């Protein structure tokens, strides 16, 4: 059973371009989470999605950032008109179901975004 897959692993963009980050959850997992890790900092929650629904986007900037998790295909985190401050590692995690004892999140290897 493959783990959480993220691609690309490294992404370089110039200011003003768009960045699209992909996450394929573990097989059977329908809950996906995106986190951002700035250099030398911890992970900050961005958004929680289930298939075709955004459940909690309280950690996501209101502008330029969007996320989706379509019925078919990977979850996408999209950053429009990137700025240097967007440079970070973006981690995706997935879980099988919510609830006590069943809420372990499995993390992907991350996408390291560098904005020039």
Q: Which helix (H) or strand (E) holds 106?
A: strand 106-107
Stretch that binds other proteins, among 11-19, 20-28, 70-78, 106-114 (CB under 8 A): 106-114
Tokens representing 96 are 């099988």
Nearer to other proteins by Cβ, of 17 and 96: the residue is: 96
Write a three-state SS string for 1-62.
CCCCEEECCEEEECCCCCEEEEEECCCCCCEEEEEEECCCCCEEEEEEEECCEEEECCCCCC
83 binds other proteins (CB under 8 A): no
**In whole angstroms, how close is the CB of 21 to other proteins at the nearest point?**
13
53 binds other proteins (CB under 8 A): no
**Using CB under 8 A as the criterion, which residues of the chain lie in contact with other proteins when the complex forms?**
4, 31, 33, 35, 41-45, 48, 55-56, 91, 93, 95, 98-101, 103-110
């Amino acid at each position: 059973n493959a783990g959480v897959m993220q691609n690309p692993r490294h992404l370089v963009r110039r200011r003003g371009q768009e960045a699209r980050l992909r996450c394929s959850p573990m097989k059977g997992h329908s809950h996906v989470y995106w986190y951002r890790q700035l250099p030398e900092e911890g992970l900050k929650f961005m958004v929680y999605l289930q298939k075709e629904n955004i459940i909690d986007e309280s950690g996501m900037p209101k502008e330029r950032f969007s996320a989706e998790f379509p019925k078919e295909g990977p979850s996408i985190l999209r950053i429009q008109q990137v700025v240097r401050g967007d440079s970070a590692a973006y981690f995706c995690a997935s879980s099988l179901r919510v609830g006590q004892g069943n809420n372990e999140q499995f993390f992907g290897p991350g996408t390291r975004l560098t904005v020039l």
